[in-house]
Amino acid sequence: MRDFIFKRIAAIIIPFICIYGFYVILHGASAAGGSFAGGIILGLAAIVFSTIYGLKKGKKKFPEKVLFCIESYGTLFYGIIGMIGIINGAPFLANKLAGIDLGIPGTLTSGGLIGLLGLGVGIRVANTLLILFFTMEGADS
Amino acid sequence: MELIVADYWIMVLLFILVVASLAIYFIKDLLHAVIVYGVYSLIMALVWLQMNTPDIAITEAAAGICVTILMMLVVFRTNRKEEE
Amino acid sequence: MKIKNILVLLIVLLTTFGILLAVAELPPYGMDDNPIHNQVSERYINESLDDTGTLNMVTGIVFDYRAYDTMFETIVLFTATLAVVVTLKPFKKEEVDE
């Protein structure tokens, strides 16, 4: 898979796949989609990169230490955002009860904490896909 | 109960679904079976779209077509290396 | 051998008949007076825009009403990844000995 045509077409196409993945994640509150589907699209972009340019370059761009760090501390990020509710005197993971401005429905920043939580879960899903791919690809060596 | 155009459309889709899932059983070559599984996932995504659930259609198209086939191909490649 | 095949065919046909009987009892798809359209879905449809501020109702339910579920779903993802890594990742022999 070290063909010249493959490499040039991937270099053109991969940025657009990444933009589409972030679009689906960030517009989860106002359009169809959501963080799980967007995270899968982001992970696929990274997998396409490391399939076409070789596993060594892929592991250089996404180091395994960073991947395992995100995988281990991802849920902690979710919990820390949930603590905002307790600090403001409302239940854990509260959104409207904690007095957060919900914004105008339909815009990018609507929904209060939902955008932050969605971004975290999306990056987490992409990360999981990458770890699975690297582990299964390197299992035979 | 009167049938509209969407009903006939979904009948065609379900028929292709049955044919594809039978074909996965009868095809002997593993690579061809995986490709037919991609056809199955694509038709399933269209069925979700017919039922007015675009969320699940996007997820099915991304997870069913791309991720499952990619993981199966990786497993085939590692198996072939061991056999040689 | 042949009697066994006929027996298997009979069991499969009987099971298919039972499943088709159960499916025939279901209400038609998308009708207004189906039993799933009770007060729960009514409450979500009417008040989720005020409660969460999202146009997409699915995201509102997943990240606001059912935020605990999503949190532990990420833990399920972590556990599945951990199982795959522990099973398939090749460890070097010196690391095991130490």
Say yes or no to pLDDT of C98 above 60: no
Q: What is the pLDDT of residues B26-58, one digit of tens each?
A: 999 888 999 999 999 999 999 999 888 888 899
- Give CA–CA dist B30/B10, Å, rounded: 29
Residue B81 banded pLDDT, cuts 50, 70, 90:
low
Chains that touch C (3 or more CB pairs under 8 A): A, B
Range of the domain at C82: 2-97
| Predicted pLDDT of residue C95 | 57
Interface of A with B in 57-96 (CB under 8 A): none
pLDDT, average across residues B48-73: 88
Alpha-carbon distance A37 to nearest alpha carbon in chain B (angstroms): 5
Chain A CA closest to residue C67 = A93
Measured between beta carbons, the chain B residues lying within 8 angstroms of A30 are none
- The 10 Å Cβ neighbour count of residue B68 is 14
**Chain C CA closest to residue B56:** C58
- The token duo for B10 is 């979904």
How many angstroms away from the CA of B6 is the closest CA of chain C? 13
* 8 Å CB contact of C90 and A74: no
CB of B5 less than 8 A from some CB of C: no
Predicted complex ipTM: 0.81
Contact criterion met (CB < 8 Å) for C28 and B1: yes
Burial of C85 (0-12, 13-18, 19+ CB in 10 A): middle
CA atoms in the 13 A half-sphere facing the CB of A8: 3
C59 and A132 in contact by Cβ < 8 A? no
pLDDT for A136 equals: 86
In chain C, which residues have their Cβ closer than 8 Å to the Cβ of A29? 53-56, 59-60
Q: How high does pLDDT run on average in chain B?
A: 87
- Between CA A118 and CA A121 the distance in angstroms is 5
DSSP secondary structure letters along A29-54? GTSS--HHHHHHHHHHHHHHHHHHS-
Please answer whether residues A136 and A130 qualify as being in contact, where contact means their C-beta atoms are separated by less than 8 angstroms: no
**Cβ burial, residue A29 (10 Å; 0-12/13-18/19+):** buried
Contact check, Cβ <8 Å, B55/C58? yes
What pLDDT score was predicted for residue B2? 73
Confidence of residue C13 (pLDDT cuts 50, 70, 90): very high
Interchain contact C74–A (C-beta under 8 A): yes
C28-81 residue pLDDT tens: 877 788 888 888 888 998 988 888 888 888 888 888 888 889 999 999 999 999
Please report which confidence band the pLDDT of residue C22 belongs to, taking 50, 70 and 90 as the band edges: very high
User: What is the pLDDT at residue B9?
Assistant: 87
Residues of C in contact with A111 (CB under 8 A): 52-54, 59-60, 63-64
Chain C residue closest to B78 (CA)?
A: C88
Q: Does B4 touch chain C (CB under 8 A)?
A: no
Cα A110 → chain centroid: 19
Q: Which residues of chain A have pLDDT under 70?
A: 1, 140-141
Read off the pTM: 0.84
Q: How many domains does chain C have?
A: 1
pLDDT tens readout for residues A102-133:
888 888 888 788 888 999 999 999 999 999 99
